[in-house]
Amino acid sequence: MGDQLHIRTHKKTKLVDLLLKAQDKRRCYHLYLTSCYFTPETAKNIIGKLCESIRLTGVTVYIDRKTATLHGSKVLTKFCKNGNLEIKLFAVDSAILFHSKAYALVSYSESNEIYCGSLVVGSANLTGNGLADIGGNVECLLDTQDDEMLVELLSQLSSLPLIDLENIDKFKLADKDKYTFKYALLQRGAFIHKWTDDLAQYFAVKYILNDSGKEKIGDPVFKDRGFNVETATISKRYFHFDYEPPHLEDTENLRKNYGIETFLGHWVPRSALASLLEDKGIEIFKTELFSAIDAQYVSIKQQIEQDMEYLLSAGIVEKGDSSPIEIFDKKIQDLRDNEYKIMRICSKYEVFDLPYDLQEKDKIERLFDDIIALCDSRKKRNAAMRGFLNAYKNANLDKLDDELYA
């Protein structure tokens, strides 16, 4: 066996370096990627990096079917279209989780036997956190150039129950009560719930009081200087925004017409959410918001500096790892980078994906069964309820949207 590596940085480079240990630039290679979790961007990055050093003639990817249905056949088909490089992707159809994380680079002889290659196994999934992102997971990788192990891997892959790309979103009627189908149908929607915070609250700057400051919590000087007083903190709202967001009709009627109530919030089909996320009113709101931030920024910065200087000189707060101005700047940047946050503040709703990991099977099945029970109990069902029941009874994901646009 080769090197054992616990890595957090340069993971993509480490994987590529381990795969290239047996490289012969005169030969052609085929890449095999097996993973439970998968993001197309990470796979493309690794493939591209390998192509810089060797002649790669083909790629075969194996992922868990539940991961495949999360992305959907359209996204995965787009991933497989990569110029002249042939990329095949298969979903492993297993009742239990396909949890493999193995990566192999193989060169074949003219008689189609393994000539040379490398196999890398470990804890890392084919995702950003696993193999690409800075500050992702700490992962372990172990490599070997043993031909017998490569033969064994390929033999086991050939015996897996596989579903090809064209059939990833298709299910048999007998599949409707299986976990894979339940997960796939839930992933056709997202969750929304009311959001009560406003921009003033979002941009409020908090100061952590030390013991001396906590003893003076009732001192009127705090309120006189415009601070809101809490148990162990004081905060102040420096940013003012008078612009009223345009009324979004879809927002007010979304839960009623397209929502299914759950303990997580209302489950809403993604196709119904599209109009909310793409509403032109949000673009107007963004323009007005960031114009107001730019106009007030210098004044806000000066006010924060003055308040921090006063609080420090009074000996009632301590300097943290980040200054109040840095925290305020980060809030601005987070708002610029996160479309969901903008939409949430504008529409007063928060949208979020299914918050459970694939392995939390019991929670996911319980949620699914609760939705079915609720839909069955209602005499008057909205479009989402009718679509969800229709998709379930027919084991057909497309029946959900068919009902929405009937």
Distance of CA 297 to the CA centre of its chain: 31
**Is 157 in contact with 33 (CB distance < 8 Å)?**
no
Amino acid code (one letter) for 260: I
Are the C-beta atoms of residues 6 and 36 closer than 8 Å to each other? Answer: no
Q: Which residue has the higher pLDDT, 371 or 222?
A: 371
In this prediction, residues 80-103 reach a mean pLDDT of 91
Of 135, 157, 155, whose CA–CA distance to 147 is shortest?
155
Overall size of the chain counted in residues = 406
Average pLDDT over residues 142-160: 94
At 303-339, the pLDDT tens digits run 999 999 999 998 888 777 788 999 999 999 988 888 7
Cα separation, 368 vs 66, in Å, equals 15
Q: What is the pLDDT of residue 231?
A: 76
Confidence class for position 78, pLDDT limits 50, 70, 90:
very high
Query: What is the predicted pLDDT for the residue at 10?
Result: 67
CA 405 – CA 333 distance, rounded (Å): 38
For residue 53, the model assigns a pLDDT of: 92
Q: Is the pLDDT of residue 9 over 70?
A: no
Per-residue exposure over 359-398, b if at least 16 CB sit within 10 Å of its own CB, e if not: eebeebeebbebbbebbeeeeebbbbbbbbbbbbeebbbe
Q: How far apart are CA 382 and CA 368, in angstroms?
A: 17
CA 70-76-79 angle, to 5 degrees, is 135
Q: Which amino acid is at 273?
A: L
Token pair for 234: 């004081």
pLDDT value at residue 130: 86
Per-residue pLDDT at 197: 63
Q: What is the pLDDT of residue 402?
A: 87
Q: Is the pLDDT of residue 8 over 80?
A: no
Determine what percent of the chain is predicted with pLDDT higher than 70.
92
Contacts of 116 (CB under 8 A, 6+ apart): 22, 24, 27, 106, 107, 145, 147
Dihedral pair phi/psi, residue 92, rounded to 5°: -85, 115
Catalogue all structural domains in the chain, each as residue range(s) with its CATH number: 4-167 (3.30.870.10), 173-187+359-404 (no CATH), 196-241+277-346 (no CATH)
How far is residue 317 from each of residues 17, 213, 232, 340, 354, measured CA to CA in Å? 50, 6, 11, 34, 40
Across residues 263-284, what is the average pLDDT?
Answer: 78
From 11-25, 142-156, 213-227, 236-250, the region with the lowest mean pLDDT: 236-250
Indicate the average pLDDT of the chain. 88
- pLDDT at position 285 is 84
Separation of alpha carbons 11 and 45, rounded Å: 12
Whether the per-residue pLDDT at 297 is higher than 60: the answer is yes
Give the per-residue SS3 of the chain: CCCEEEECCCHHHHHHHHHHHHCCCCCEEEEEEEECCECHHHHHHHHHHHHCCCEEEEEEEEEEHHHHHHHCHHHHHHHHEECCEEEEEEEECCCCCCCCEEEEEEEECCCCCEEEEEEEEECCCECHHHHCCCCCCCEEEEEECCHHHHHHHHHHHHCCCEEEHHHCCECCHHHCCCHHHHHHHHCCEEEEEECCCCHHHHHCEEEEECHHHHHCCCCCHHHHCCCEECCCEEEECCCCCCCCCCCCHHHHHHHHHHCEEECCEEEEEHHHHHHHHCCHHHHHHHHHHHHHHHHHHHHHHHHHHHHHHHHHHCCCECCCCCCHHHHHHHHHHHHHHCHHHHHHHHHCEEEECCCCCCCCHHHHHHHHHHHHHHHHHCCCCCHHHHHHHHHHHHCECHHHHHHHCC
Instruction: Answer yes or no: is pLDDT of 249 > 70.
Output: no
Q: Is the pTM of this model over 0.85?
A: no
Percentage of the chain lying above the pLDDT 90 cut:
57
Label residue 224 by pLDDT band (50, 70, 90).
confident
Quickly tell me which residue has 């990833």 as its tokens.
168
The pLDDT of residue 301 is above 90: yes
Q: Which range (55-64, 119-128, 195-204) has the least confidence?
A: 195-204
Q: Is the pLDDT of residue 124 over 80?
A: yes
Per residue in 156-208, pLDDT tens? Answer: 999 999 999 999 999 999 999 999 999 999 999 999 887 766 788 889 998 88
